[in-house]
Structure 1
C-alpha cells in the first residue's frame, strides 16, 4: 500500500486550490470585522494565539487547533472558523505551534497544553477543544490520560490518531517520527481522561485512511463518532462557522 497516496487529500478533492484561496479571503474578512487579542504563550516565534471575544460575557472557551500535517499553516489562516462559537456567546482561541522540522510532534503537544492552559485562565466557564487533521491529533492528545491541562470536552475533527502509518510516508523525512514517538504521541494508544467528554468527527467523503483513523480513535476511547454526510477533508470544518450546525452542537451543545 502506498501510504503517501493514502494520506493525500487535495489530489482527491475537486477544486481544492480554490477552496484554499477562499479560506484566505474568509479569514482576512473575519479578522477585519472582529476584535481579538494577540497573545504569546511562550517565547518562540510561533508560540502565540488569537483570542476572539463574543459580544457580552463569554459563556466559555472553545479552542481550535489548525491542521497542515504539523508542517504548515498558522492561527491567522483559520480565524473565520471562530464564527460559530462567537455566535453562541463563546470566546474562541486559535493557537499556532512550532512546526516541523523545527519542532517535533511531542513539542507541539506541549505547546498546545500551554496555550490551552493560558486561554483557560483568561476565560471563565467550560473549555472545549477541537482541531482539524493534525490539529485534531493535537486536540485529542490533550484529552489523553498522560495530560493534565483543564478541558471539559474534546471533538477531534478528521484526526490523525494512530501515527504508525506515517512512518512509511515521505513527509516523515520532515516529521522525523520514530517508534518511540509514535507510541507516545498516538492518541489511540492512550486512554481517554475520565474527566473529559469526547466525540470524534469525520467527513463521509474523506480518504479511507482518515475514516479508519477516526473510527480507530472512537473505538479506542469508546466514545461517539459522527461521519458527516457529503463532507470531504477540506469542507468538514465548515460547520464551525454556523452556530446551529450539527458540528457546533457536538462541540457546545449542553452547555
Structure 2
C-alpha cells in the first residue's frame, strides 16, 4: 500500500484551499459576532485557548484542531462556535505548539492542560471533539478520563503507518514512540475509569481507505473492550468537507455533540 498517498490529504483533495478559505471566513465572522474570552492555559505563546461562552453554568465542548500536529491554530475554527451557541453550549478551542518545534508527546501534554483548564472552570469534564490530528488527541483525552465523551472526526489512532510518509519529517517518530503515542494501544476507558466511556469515530465516505480503516478499527477495538462506540461514515464528504456539518446547528453531527454535553437546547 502507498501510505504516502493514503495519508497525504491535501494531495487527495485538490480543492482543499477553497474549503480552508471558508474556515477562515466563518472564523472571522464568528469572532466579530461573538468575541471570545482568551485564556492562557500555560506560559507559552501558543498555550492559549478561545472560550466562546454560552451562558453562566452552560456546558462547554472543547474542539481540538488538526493539521498533522504541525499546522494551523485555534483562529481557523472559531466558525464552529455559532452552531453550538445556538444550542446553549459553549466552545473552547486551544492552540498548541507544533512539530518540529516540539515533539508529539509535548503536544499531548499541552492539550491535557487545556482540557483541565476548562474542567476547572466549569467543574465538570467536557465533551472533547477534534478533527484529524485533533481526533487523535480527543481519543487520548478520553482514555485518560479527562473527557465525558469524545467525538473523533477523521482521527488517526495508530500512528505507525505515518512513519514512512512525508508527514513524519516534522514528527520524527520511530516505531517505539509512534506506538506509545497511539491511543489504540492506550488503556480503554471503562466503568472504573473516572470520566466518560463514549467514543464516536466519524469519517468522510470519500476519505482514503486508511482513514476509513483507522476509524473502524478504533471503534471496534474499544467496543470490544466495553466502551460505547459508534463509527459514522458520512457519505460524499472528504477529509476537509467532513467538518461541514459542524457549521450547521441542526445537522445530525452537531445534534450528537450537543446531546453528549447534556444540553437541552
User: Could you tell me which residue of structure 2 aligns to residue 65 of structure 1?
Assistant: 64
Instruction: Please state how far the C-alpha of 1:15 moved relative to its aligned partner.
Output: 2.4
* Partner residue, 1:172: 168
Q: CA deviation at 1:136?
A: 0.6
Matched, 1:198 2:194: no
The unaligned stretches of length 5 or more in structure 2 are 224-228
Partner SS for 1:23? helix
> Taking structure 2 as the reference length, what is the TM-score of the superposition?
0.90
In the TM superposition, 1:106-121 aligns within 5 A as: 106-121=105-120
Query: What's 2:82 paired with?
Result: 83
Contact 2:219 2:231 in 1 (8 A): yes
Deviation at 1:14, TM superposition (A): 4.9
Q: In structure 2, the residue corresponding to 1:64 is in which secondary structure?
A: strand
Whole-angstrom distance in 2 between the partners of 1:124 and 1:86:
19
Picking from 256, 259, 265, the partner of 1:250 is 256
Superposed CA RMSD in Å reads 1.5
Q: Is the 8 A contact 2:36 2:50 kept in 1?
A: yes
3-state DSSP class of the match of 1:216?
A: helix
Give the structure 1 partner of residue 17 of structure 2. 17
Q: Does structure 2 conserve the Cα–Cα contact (< 8 Å) formed by 1:58 and 1:91?
A: no
Count residues with an aligned counterpart: 251
TM-score by length of 1: 0.93
**Contiguous gaps of at least 5 residues in structure 1:** none
Cα offset, 1:13, TM superposition: 2.4
SS of 1:160 mapped into structure 2: coil
| Structure 1, 245-254 or 90-99: larger mean CA deviation | 245-254
After alignment, is 91-100 or 236-245 more displaced? 236-245
Pairs within 5 Å for 1:44-63: 44-54=44-54, 56-63=55-62
Q: Give CA deviations for 1:58-89 in whole Å, capped at 9, x if unaligned.
A: 43110000000000000011110122221110
1:154 aligns with 2:154: no
